[in-house]
Amino acid sequence: MNKITGFLIISALLTGCHNMADQPKRIQVAKVGDVILYYDELPKLFQKGISREDSTAIIQNYINKWAKKELLFMKAEQNLSPDFKNEIDKQLEETRANLVIYQYQRQMMLEKMDTTISEEEMESYYATNEKNFILNSSIVKALFIKVPVETPGLDKIRVWARSNDQKDFQQLESYCYQFAEKFDDFNEDWVTMDRLSIELPQDILNQDDFLKRNPWYETSDSSSVYMISIRDYRQRYSLAPFDYVKNDIKSIILNNRRFEFLQSLENGIYNEAIKANTFKIF
C-alpha cells in the first residue's frame, strides 16, 4: 500500500470518526476475497499527539497484517487436504461441545450445589483422615523481632516478648513500632520453620532439636539483634493441627462435593434420556 493510498484511508477514517452517527452503513476499510474489514473492527489506533503520518503508518501496518492473515487463511482453505479439514472440523466440534458442557456444569453448580461447609463437617473429615495430614515440615506459632544492635531497652524487649500478658504484648508492640526493623507475630497463625529461618542470619541445621531446646532464641550479627519467642510447635512427621489444615480440608470437601454433583447431574440426564427414549442403543 503506497503513501497516497494510506493518506486517503486515514482521511476517510478520520472523517468517519466525526460522522459515524450520521452514517447508516459501516465504513469499509479493506477486502480480501469476500471478507471485508470495517472501520468499527479496527482497534483504537488514534491517539492524541500522534501525527497524521504516524497514524497512517500504524493503520497501514494493521491492515497489512490483517490482509496477510486472511490471505493465508484463504490459501490454506483452498489447498488443505480433505482429511485435514475433517480433522479440524472434528476438533472444533469437540472444543465447542466441551465449552458448552463446561459452562452448563458451572451454571448448574452456581444455581443448585450447596457450598456451605460446617465446622463439624470439617472436623469429622479431619478425624477420619488423619493419616492424610502428616506434616512434611515443622511448624510454629512464634513471635519474631529484629532490632538494630544499638536499640535502647533490649532487656525490656526480652521480658515483654517472653510474657503471656496482653499488657506486656501491647507495650512490646508499641516499642517495636518505634525501633524494630521487623516485628511479626504472623497473625498468630502457624508458619513453617523454613519460613521463620529465612529471617535469621544463620541457617537452623536441625529444626527438630532446635524446637525442643529453644522456646526462646536470640542471635545477632554486626547490625541487628534477632529474637524468637516460640509459643507452640509441631514437629515434622507429626499430625498437623486442625487449624493449620482447615482451609485445605474445606477445599477437599468442596472438590469432592463438586465431583459428586457433576456425576449426579450426568447420571440424571442419562437416565432421563433413557426414560424419554431420547437415547437408544441399537
**Least confident stretch, 14-23, 93-102, 183-192, 252-261:** 14-23
User: Using CA atoms, how far apart are residues 123 and 119, in angstroms rounded to an integer?
Assistant: 6
Q: Is residue 140 left, alpha or beta, with left meaning phi > 0 and alpha meaning psi from -120 to 50? A: beta
What does 75-136 look like in DSSP terms, one character per residue? Answer: HHHHHS-HHHHHHHHHHHHHHHHHHHHHHHHHHHHHHH------HHHHHHHHHHTGGG-B-S
Quote the CA–CA distance of 76 and 85 in Å, as a whole number: 10
For residue 194, give the C-alpha cell.
Answer: 523454613
Pick the CATH number of 135-234 from 3.40.1350, 1.20.1300, 3.60.70, 3.10.50: 3.10.50
> So what's the pLDDT on residue 264?
97
Report d(CA 20, CA 18) in Å as an integer: 6
- pTM equals 0.72
Judge whether residue 151 has pLDDT over 50.
yes
Residue 5 pLDDT greater than 70, yes or no: no
- pLDDT above 70 for 56: yes
Q: Round to whole Å and give the CA distance between 197 and 236.
A: 15
**For residue 30, is pLDDT > 80?**
yes
Instruction: List, in order, residues 6 or more apart from 36 with CB less than 8 Å away.
Output: 28, 29, 30
> What pLDDT does 46 receive?
57
Q: Could you tell me where in the chain the CATH 3.10.50 domains are found?
A: 135-234
User: Residues near 253 by Cβ (< 8 Å), separated by ≥ 6?
Assistant: 117, 121, 122, 125
CB-CB contact of 193 with 211 (8 Å): yes
Closest CA to 27 of 17, 153, 228, 91: 17
Q: Provide the grid cell at 252.
A: 477437599
The distance from CA 262 to its chain's CA centroid, rounded to whole angstroms, is 24
Which run of H or E residues covers position 165? Answer: none
Q: Cell triple for residue 230?
A: 516460640
Q: Parallel, antiparallel, or unpaired for β 182-184 and 216-220?
A: unpaired
Q: For residues 147 and 151, give the distance between their C-alpha atoms in angstroms, rounded to a whole number.
A: 7
Structural Rg of the chain based on CA atoms: 34
d(CA 240, CA 246): 10
**Model pLDDT for residues 182-231, shown as the tens digit of each residue:** 999 988 899 999 999 999 999 888 999 999 999 999 999 999 999 999 99
Using one digit for the tens of pLDDT, what is the confidence trace for 76-118? 999 999 999 999 999 999 999 999 999 999 999 999 999 999 9
Query: 191 pairs with which residues across the strands?
Result: 140
Grid coordinates given for 199: 529471617
Amino acid at position 213, single letter: R
